[in-house]
C-alpha cells in the first residue's frame, strides 16, 4: 500500500473502502475498494476528511483486508451458516436457520491470539433466528502478512469451522403435572399453560398433558404413557422439593437411564432435575417455574429442544452468572443471567 495525496491520486485504485459518516443520517462506504479516483471525487474526499488515501500496492506475501476477511469467513463458518462479500474489511457470519448457536470457544480464543486477526461472536448457546448475524471477522491493518492467515487455517485444520447453528428438532412434548391437591381439583393447575407456551415457542408440540397424585406408581405410569405416545421431551412439574410427599424425582430416576443432575447452581431453579432415557429427555421442574418468568428451565430449554446433550459440567458452569437479579422489568435473554 502507498499513501498518496488525494490531488495526486487521480487515476489510481482505492485500496480499501472509504467510509463517510453523517451523524444521524448515514454511515457507510462512500468509495469502495477498487474505485478509480476521478477529478470529481477530490472535493468529496476532502469533505470526508480524507486528505490522503491508500493506493493498492500489494506484495506477494501479503493480503488485502477484504481478501483476508474472506479467508477468515471460509475458515470459521460451520453448519447452517453463510457469509456475504466483505464490507469495509469485515466479514459477517449469518445463520441460515433458527436454532442454537454453538461456538468452539477454545478455538475462538486461539484465533484471537494470532496477530492482527479479530473474530467476535454472540454468546455460545444463544437462540438465533434465520439471517441473524452471529459472528464477524476482520484483520486490523489494511494489509496483513499471509503467514498469519496461514496460521489461522492451521489452528482450524479439519475442524469444520468454529461456528454452527444447531436446529430445533424436538417436536413432541409430554407434560406430567404431579401433586394430589391438583389431581383432586383442590387447586387449579397453572403449570401446564406456562410450559406449553414456552415449548411451543421453539416449534414443539405438546402431545400429552397428564395429571398424577403423589403416588410413585401413578407418576411412573404417566411418564410411560408419554413415552408410548412418542414424546421425546417429558416435563414433570411439582413435587421436586424435599417434602415427604415429593416423590417426582424418584419417578424420574426410575424412568431414566442416565441422571445428569438433581439440583442446579442456578437461582431460581435450584431443585431442577435433568435425565435421559434412550429416546427421551426427562425434566423435573420445581415450583418456581410456575410463578417466576425466567429460571434455569429457560436457560436450558432451547438446548434441550435442539437435542444438544447437556452434561453435569454444563450445569456446574451455570453457577457463574446463575443468579437472577429479579429486575423490575425483565429483559431476558438480553441480560447477564445464564451467561
Give domain limits for the chain. Answer: 2-55, 62-166, 172-317
How large is the greatest C-alpha to C-alpha distance in the chain, in angstroms?
Answer: 89
Give the pLDDT confidence of 267-276 residue by residue, as tens digits. Answer: 999 999 999 9
Task: Determine contact, residues 262/239, Cβ cutoff 8 Å.
Answer: no
Q: What is the pLDDT of residues 304-332, one digit of tens each?
A: 999 999 999 999 999 999 999 999 999 99
Residue 338, pLDDT score? 93
Give the integer Cα–Cα distance in Å for 301 and 289: 12
Cα-flanking dihedrals φ and ψ of residue 270, to 5°? -65, -30
Q: What is the pTM of this model?
A: 0.83
- Helices and strands: H and E segment counts in the chain: 11, 19
DSSP 6: G
Strand order in the sheet with 258-262: 205-212, 172-178, 233-237, 281-285, 273-276, 258-262
Examine the pLDDT at 104 and tell me if it is beyond 90: yes
Superfamily of domain 2-55 in CATH is Molybdopterin biosynthesis moea protein, domain 2 (3.90.105.10)
Q: What is the mean pLDDT of residues 246-250?
A: 92
Rounded average pLDDT over 160-186: 94
pLDDT number for residue 2: 85
C-alpha cell of 230? Answer: 412418542
Residue 241, pLDDT above cutoff 90: no
CB-based contacts of 244: which residues, under 8 Å, 6+ apart? Answer: none
The C-alpha cell at 296 is 434455569
| CATH assignment of 62-166, among 3.40.50.80, 3.30.540.10, 3.90.1170.30, 3.40.50.10860 | 3.90.1170.30
Query: What distance in Å separates the CA atoms of residue 264 and residue 116, rounded to the nearest whole number?
Result: 40
Classify domain 172-317 by CATH number.
Answer: 3.40.980.10
pLDDT-derived band at 142 (thresholds 50, 70, 90) equals: confident
Assess contact for 241 and 224: CB atoms under 8 A: no
Amino acid at each position: 500500500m502507498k499513501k498518496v495525496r488525494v490531488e495526486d491520486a487521480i487515476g489510481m485504485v482505492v485500496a480499501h473502502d472509504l467510509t463517510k459518516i453523517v451523524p444521524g443520517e448515514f454511515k457507510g462506504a462512500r468509495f469502495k475498494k477498487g474505485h478509480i479516483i476521478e477529478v470529481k471525487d477530490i472535493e468529496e474526499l476532502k469533505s470526508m476528511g480524507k486528505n490522503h488515501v491508500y493506493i493498492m500496492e500489494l506484495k506477494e506475501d501479503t493480503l488485502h483486508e477484504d481478501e483476508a476477511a474472506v479467508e477468515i469467513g471460509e475458515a470459521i463458518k460451520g453448519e447452517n451458516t453463510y457469509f456475504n462479500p466483505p464490507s469495509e474489511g469485515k466479514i459477517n457470519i449469518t445463520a441460515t436457520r433458527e436454532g442454537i448457536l454453538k461456538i468452539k470457544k477454545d478455538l475462538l480464543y486461539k484465533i484471537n491470539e494470532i496477530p492482527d486477526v479479530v473474530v467476535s461472536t454472540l454468546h455460545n448457546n444463544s437462540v438465533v433466528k434465520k439471517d441473524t448475524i452471529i459472528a464477524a471477522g476482520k484483520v486490523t491493518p489494511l494489509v496483513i502478512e499471509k503467514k498469519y492467515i496461514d496460521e489461522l487455517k492451521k489452528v482450524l485444520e479439519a475442524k469444520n469451522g468454529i461456528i454452527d447453528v444447531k436446529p430445533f428438532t424436538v417436536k413432541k412434548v409430554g407434560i406430567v403435572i404431579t401433586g394430589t391437591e391438583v389431581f383432586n381439583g383442590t387447586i387449579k393447575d397453572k403449570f401446564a399453560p406456562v410450559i406449553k407456551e414456552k415449548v411451543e415457542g421453539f416449534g414443539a408440540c405438546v402431545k400429552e398433558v397428564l395429571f398424577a397424585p403423589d403416588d410413585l406408581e401413578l407418576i411412573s405410569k404417566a411418564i410411560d404413557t408419554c413415552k408410548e405416545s412418542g414424546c421425546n421431551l417429558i416435563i414433570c412439574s411439582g413435587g421436586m422439593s424435599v417434602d415427604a410427599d415429593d416423590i417426582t424425582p424418584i419417578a424420574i430416576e426410575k424412568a431414566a437411564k442416565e441422571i445428569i443432575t438433581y439440583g442446579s447452581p442456578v437461582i431460581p431453579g435450584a431443585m431442577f432435575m435433568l435425565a435421559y432415557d434412550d429416546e427421551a429427555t426427562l425434566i423435573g421442574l420445581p415450583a418456581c417455574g410456575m410463578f417466576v418468568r425466567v429460571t434455569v428451565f429457560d436457560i436450558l430449554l432451547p438446548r434441550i429442544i435442539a437435542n444438544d446433550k447437556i452434561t453435569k459440567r454444563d450445569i456446574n458452569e451455570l453457577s457463574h452468572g446463575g443468579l437472577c437479579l429479579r429486575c423490575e422489568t425483565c429483559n431476558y435473554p438480553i441480560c447477564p443471567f445464564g451467561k
